């Protein structure tokens, strides 16, 4: 393998562009060797200023290029399965933006293909695990310093839902992050999901009930509630309060710095997730590249992607029926018990 990992980026939309710039300008030991997008103009614009980066409209052609050493998938979720199987067939490291795939059946097929290879090749883009405060909270929980963790309160607010968004996407696209965060923080699987739809904002597009409240219970009985608010208008905020036997820990919400001036005090709210999680994305991609250069992976696995997809399926059913829905999981294969 060359000194720089040659990465093919599939998808030149919002997240793809963000990752292309990150890989090309801020990641050590990596270079963008090609960008794949069905829109050739979009792909060409994405590689402008990146010397040597090729443009493809076909995934197989890009993956068969002799320069290709790794692949970052940043297309919409419903296109992930095909790209994942193509990457696994070539046994190369993959960073797949969340979701792994949109439903547990397809996520399980991907996991089984990886298991057949006998080694982990896939890292899923759950970037909150790389946010310094989330990582700190996870350590605090593991240390037992504040006693047992009892409850988690999450707020997840976006300024506006993009065109085409739906009630189901509030779960599949947004709350999927809390499903993973709760699993990451507690180290447990989620046992059940409930969803309440209350009074809705007039700022939500027709058909979307916004905000909603999601209640999860982990295997040991930790309760985690999530306020998911897609059209909060005022900016992007993701925060968590963790309630322990001997204290409460708050993370997120504040972007700092605080300003005292003209008779007022306060700070600013960030506009979106690429700004809020910029440092976490940098750390996520650097960790992936470092591990790939050593021939491994280091981060959320295909099992984590599969488990989150199973939570989403339960969440969408809970949203539709108003019932508490159990999360059904296959038995965890041995490969995913290894660190
Ligand atoms: C978006 O797709 C993301 O992944 C963001 O992190 C999340 O906050 C947002 O709600 C999703 O739509």
pLDDT of 21-33, one tens digit each?
999 999 999 999 9
Best residue for ligand 1 mutational test, from 134, 176, 177, 208 (most atoms within 8 Å of Cβ): 177
Q: Residue 250: helix, strand or coil by DSSP?
A: strand
pLDDT, residue 306, reads 98
C-beta 97 within 6 A of ligand 1: no
Candidates 183, 165, 134; CA nearest to 306 is 183
Name the residue among 56, 236, 264 with its Cα closest to residue 157: 236
Parallel/antiparallel/unpaired status of strands 325-326 and 190-197: antiparallel
**CB 50, CB 36: distance < 8 Å:** no
**DSSP summary character for residue 323:** S
Q: Is 120 in the pocket of ligand 1 (CB under 6 A)?
A: no
Residues 110, 83 contacting (CB under 8 angstroms): no
Torsion 199-205-206-209 (CA) sign: negative
Nearest ligand 1 atom to alpha carbon 238: 8
Residue 49 structure tokens: 């200023």
pLDDT at 200: 98
Q: In testing the pocket of ligand 1, which one of 158, 166, 253, 269 has its CB within 8 Å of the most ligand atoms?
A: 158
Q: Closest Cα to atom 7, ligand 1: which residue? A: 174
Q: How far is CA 100 from CA 72, 80, 258, in A?
A: 12, 7, 38
Any ligand 1 atom below 6 A from CB of 158: yes
107 Cβ contact list (under 8 Å, min separation 6): 99, 100, 101, 302, 305, 306, 309, 310
Q: Tell me if residue 266 falls in helix, strand or coil.
A: strand
Ligand 1, residue 162: give the atom nearest the CA.
Answer: 12
Give nearest CA residue, ligand 1 atom 6.
Answer: 273
- Joined together, the tokens standing for residue 123 give 């890292």
Residues 238, 23: Cα–Cα separation, whole Å: 25
Separation between Cα atoms, residue 124 and residue 116, nearest integer Å: 18
> How many whole angstroms from 2 Cα to the centroid of ligand 1?
34
Question: Which ranges constitute the DSSP H helices of the chain?
Answer: 14-25, 40-47, 59-64, 80-89, 104-117, 132-143, 167-169, 176-186, 273-276, 278-293, 302-321
- In angstroms, rounded to a whole number, what is the distance separating the alpha carbons of residues 283 and 305? 19
Beta-strand relationship, 264-266 and 223-229: unpaired
pTM for the whole thing? 0.96
pLDDT one digit per residue (tens) for the chain, 339 residues: 457 999 999 999 999 999 999 999 999 999 999 999 999 999 999 999 999 999 999 999 999 999 999 999 999 999 999 999 999 999 999 999 999 999 999 999 999 999 999 999 999 999 999 999 999 999 999 999 999 999 999 999 999 999 999 999 999 999 999 999 999 999 999 999 999 999 999 999 999 999 999 999 999 999 999 999 999 999 999 999 999 999 999 999 666 788 899 999 888 899 999 999 999 999 999 999 999 999 999 999 999 999 999 999 999 999 999 999 999 999 999 999 976
Is the Cβ atom of 174 under 6 angstroms away from ligand 1?
A: yes
Peptide bond preceding 257: is omega within 30 degrees of 0, i.e. cis?
yes
292's tokens: 């790939």
**Predicted confidence (pLDDT) per residue in 95-113, tens digit:** 999 999 999 999 999 999 9
Domains of the chain: 5-128+279-299 (3.40.50.720), 132-276+307-334 (3.30.360.10)
CA distance 216 to 98: 20
Tell which residue, 96, 31, 26, has the closest CA to residue 309: 96
Q: What's the count of helices (H) and strands (E) in the chain, helices before strands? A: 11, 15
Whether residue 177 has its Cβ less than 6 Å from ligand 1: yes
Per-residue pLDDT at 3 = 77
- Protein residue with its CA nearest to atom 3 in ligand 1: 174
Contact 211, 228 (CB under 8 A): yes
pLDDT at 257: 80
Ligand 1 midpoint to CA 304 (Å): 17
CA 74 – ligand 1 centroid, Å: 13
Cα distance between residue 197 and residue 6, in whole Å? 46
- Ligand 1: which atom is nearest the Cα of residue 98? 4
pLDDT at 255: 67
Ligand 1 neighbour 237 (Cβ under 6 A): no
């Amino acid at each position: 393998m060359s000194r720089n990992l040659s990465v093919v980026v599939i998808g030149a939309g919002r997240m793809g562009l963000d990752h292309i710039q990150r890989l090309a300008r801020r990641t050590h030991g990596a270079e963008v060797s090609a960008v794949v997008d069905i829109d050739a103009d979009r792909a060409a614009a994405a590689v402008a200023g990146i010397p040597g980066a090729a443009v493809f409209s076909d995934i197989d052609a890009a993956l068969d290029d002799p320069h290709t050493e790794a692949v970052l998938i940043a297309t919409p979720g419903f296109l992930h399965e095909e790209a994942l199987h193509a990457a696994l067939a070539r046994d190369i490291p993959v960073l797949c933006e969340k979701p792994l795939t949109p439903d547990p059946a397809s996520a399980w097929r991907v996991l089984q293909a990886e298991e057949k290879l006998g080694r982990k090749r896939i890292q899923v883009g759950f970037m909150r695990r790389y946010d310094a405060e989330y990582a700190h909270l996870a350590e605090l929980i593991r240390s037992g310093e504040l006693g047992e963790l009892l409850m988690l309160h999450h707020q997840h607010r976006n300024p506006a839902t993009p065109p085409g968004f739906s009630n189901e996407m509030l779960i599949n696209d947004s709350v999927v992050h809390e499903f993973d965060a709760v699993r990451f923080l507690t180290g447990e699987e989620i046992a059940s999901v409930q969803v309440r739809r209350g009074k809705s904002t007039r700022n939500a597009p027709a058909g979307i009930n916004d905000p909603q409240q999601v209640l999860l219970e982990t295997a040991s009985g930790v309760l985690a509630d999530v306020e998911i608010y897609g059209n909060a208008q005022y900016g992007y905020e993701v925060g968590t309060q963790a309630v322990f036997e001997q204290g409460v820990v708050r993370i997120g919400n504040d972007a700092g710095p605080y300003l005292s001036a003209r008779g007022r005090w306060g700070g600013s709210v960030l506009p979106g997730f690429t700004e809020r999680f910029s440092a976490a994305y940098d750390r996520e991609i650097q960790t992936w590249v470092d591990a790939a250069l050593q021939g491994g992976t280091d981060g959320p696995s295909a099992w984590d992607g599969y488990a989150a997809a199973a939570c989403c399926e339960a969440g969408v059913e809970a949203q539709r029926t108003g019932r508490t829905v159990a999360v059904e999981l296959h038995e965890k294969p041995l490969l995913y018990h290894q660190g």
